[in-house]
Amino acid sequence: MTDDAQLLARYVKEGSEPAFGELVARYINLVYSTAVRQVSDAHLAQDIVQTVFTALARKAPVLPRDVILGGWLYRHTCFVSSQARRTELRRQARERQAVAMNELSNEPEHSWDQLAPFLDEAMEHLGTGDRDALVLRYFEKRDFRDVGVALGVSEEAARKKVTRAVDKLRLAFVRRGLTLSGTALGAVLTAHTLTAAPAGLAVTVTTTAVAGAAATSGLTLSVLKLMAISKLKVAAGAILAAGVGTVLVLEHQEQTRLREQNFALQQQIGQLASLQDENRELSNLLAQAKNNRIPNDQLSELLRLRGEVGALRNQTNELAKLRSENQRSRSSAAAGQNQRPADDPQPEYYPKESWTYAGFADPRSAFQSTIWARTVGNADVILASWAPEERAREEAQMAREGKTFADNVANAVKEMEQVKSFRILRHEAVSDDEVILTVAPEGIDGDQPAPARMVRVGNEWKFAGFGKRRPPEQSQSQN
């Protein structure tokens, strides 16, 4: 049988719907069972299943090659189910009373009703390795040999790992007053954790998920087409200023096509408005991460989602800038003036209330993620934003001053309190792996525009400090 990694690779490379359908058929019962336990509503559970597999289709190109797909689907189902309860049920209060249980091995059928409401909550408190082991063994119904192959250990090591994970899960139930043995808990998990999804749901999910992923790709293609048209418009305007009469007709045609493209993109941008509510909701979750002790895997998922929202917001800003440039070019052409040089872009303005975690896919997003992390004091993102040379410099400075990393974060938060906004005045590509962003902050008395060095590290861009890199001979002479 083709394994999960091969099926995912076929879908990513060829867009193979049969390959994706095989993955859906393989895991739909796991996802549906988890959703039913979370929301106790069969219809809502089907919507959650659709959302989860649509997310899988969209995220398939960026998933790690060694991902345990069952564990990833289980965690994402729990996350989506939690959002569904919060949005649709508004966290309706559920009174859960812990009732002392007799040994589950004596009355397994009776005890499952008491155990099920707490199962997923208890699973979330386990480590990733223990949770994946339980999902493989009891949710996917694999034997110990297959569990060992998936986890990269021997069959006997897999058996011991599952036993330890069951015991940790059992202790979580004991703390709630539900007394049971590890053997009894294993028997109940074997009998009840997997519920068959409704007939025909797999086909519907496959078709809708693949179509949803294609629609997302279509939005990116539309943005690229608009940028290409804008470049043609700039060239046509330059010829117009030189007095070539035929270009007037071409300019008018391009302006008409651009207006049509703008109208279509306006409709797509309207669909992005709903993401703003999700972004605010994710911001609240991140702010409460320390108090609520959100598990690391869920926190990482929240950061990735914020990155996607930030990227879409940047695309929206880019569209607005292109429309503004289009309007200026028409006015300039009518007045017979030369257009502004294409390599002198308008400053990009970022007010403080718009700062967000935007990921590290490009220099601008990486810089915004850096200042956001320094503003809210997110130590993990601050560390992730530094280039190796910047991290070495910061560590050397902390050592000289006798300060800790916590002091560094606190100082960063204090410094950013005065900054109200920043503008990116210039984007200078030094090489394929280095970019200089000329940044002008607002709110610090006497502060002047400064060059921020951004360097590529692997597939991500990192902050390498302020100031352009000095030539090697200059550095050696100063030493």
* Residue 430 zone, left/alpha/beta (φ > 0; ψ -120 to 50; rest): alpha
Query: Quick check: 19 and 1 in contact, CB under 8 A?
Result: no
Judgement on whether residues 291 and 384 belong to the same structural domain of the protein: no
- The shares of helix, strand and coil residues in the chain, as percent rounded to the nearest 5, are 70, 10, 25
Q: Are residues 336 and 398 in the same domain?
A: no
Position 180 scores a pLDDT of: 74
pLDDT of residue 462: 94
Residue 382's pLDDT is 92
φ, ψ (nearest 5 deg) of residue 106? -85, -40
Please state, as a whole number, how many other Cβ atoms lie within 10 Å of the Cβ of residue 451. 16
Is residue 301 in some structural domain?
yes
What is the model's pLDDT at position 132? 92
Confirm whether 160 is domain-assigned.
yes
Place of tokens 């320390």: 290
pLDDT of residue 471: 42
Residue 467 Rama label (left phi>0; alpha psi -120 to 50; beta): left
**Does residue 140 sit within a domain?**
yes
- Give yes or no: residues 123 and 60 share one domain: yes
Q: What is the CA radius of gyration of the chain?
A: 27
Residue 208 is assigned to a structural domain of this protein: no
Please state, in angstroms and rounded to a whole number, the distance separating the CA atoms of residues 224 and 232: 13
2: nearest Cα among 31, 35, 25, 33: 25
The answer on 194 and 103 residing in a single domain is yes
pLDDT score of 185: 81
One domain, residues 436 and 459? yes
**Beta strand residue intervals within 226-291, DSSP E:** none
User: What CATH number corresponds to the domain at position 427?
Assistant: 3.10.450.50
Q: Which pLDDT does position 242 carry in this prediction?
A: 42
State which of 178, 203, 228 marks the end of a domain: 203
Do 90 and 34 lie in a common domain? yes
Same domain, 452 and 314: no
According to the model, what pLDDT value does residue 110 have?
Answer: 41
Q: Which residues of the chain have pLDDT under 50?
A: 1, 94, 96-110, 219-221, 223-224, 226-249, 290, 333-345, 469-479
- Both tokens of 75, joined, read 């965690």
**Domain-ending residue, one of 203, 231, 253:** 203
Spatial separation of the C-alpha atoms in residues 225 and 53, rounded to whole Å: 29
Residues 127 and 66 occupy one common structural domain: yes
Q: Is residue 209 part of a domain?
A: no
Q: Do residues 168 and 264 share a domain?
A: no
| pLDDT digits 0-9 by tens, 282-294 | 666 666 654 555 5
Cα–Cα nearest to 137, from 164, 158, 110: 158
**Side-chain-facing half-sphere of 174: CA atoms under 13 Å:** 11
pLDDT recorded at residue 386:
92
> How many domains does the chain fold into?
3
54: domain range? 4-203
Angle in degrees, CA 310, 281, 121, rounded to 5: 120
pTM for the model stands at 0.32
Q: Per the domain annotation, does 139 fall within a domain? A: yes
* Pair of tokens at residue 181: 């043995």
Same domain for 320 and 221: yes
Please report the pLDDT score of residue 226 as a whole number.
46
Angle between helices 42-59 and 201-241 (to 10 degrees): 50
- Both 351 and 336 in a single domain? no
Joined tokens for residue 74: 């289980």
State which of 322, 340, 358 marks the end of a domain. Answer: 340
Euclidean distance between CA atoms 74 and 172, whole angstroms: 19
Q: In what order do the strands lie in the sheet containing 434-442?
A: 348-351, 421-431, 434-442, 450-457, 460-466
Q: Which among 121, 1, 144, 23 is positioned nearest to 72, based on CA atoms?
A: 23
Q: What is the pLDDT of residues 318-331, one digit of tens each?
A: 666 666 666 565 55
> Rounded to 10 degrees, what is the CA torsion of 151, 153, 158, 161?
-80
Same domain, 267 and 190: no
- Residue 146 in domain: yes
| Residue for token pair 């869920």 | 298
165 CB-side CA count, 13 A? 24
One-letter amino acid at 410 equals: A
Structural domain contains residue 210: no
User: Mind listing the pLDDT tens digit for each residue in 392-417?
Assistant: 999 998 999 988 988 888 888 888 88
Helix (H) or strand (E) holding 453: strand 450-457
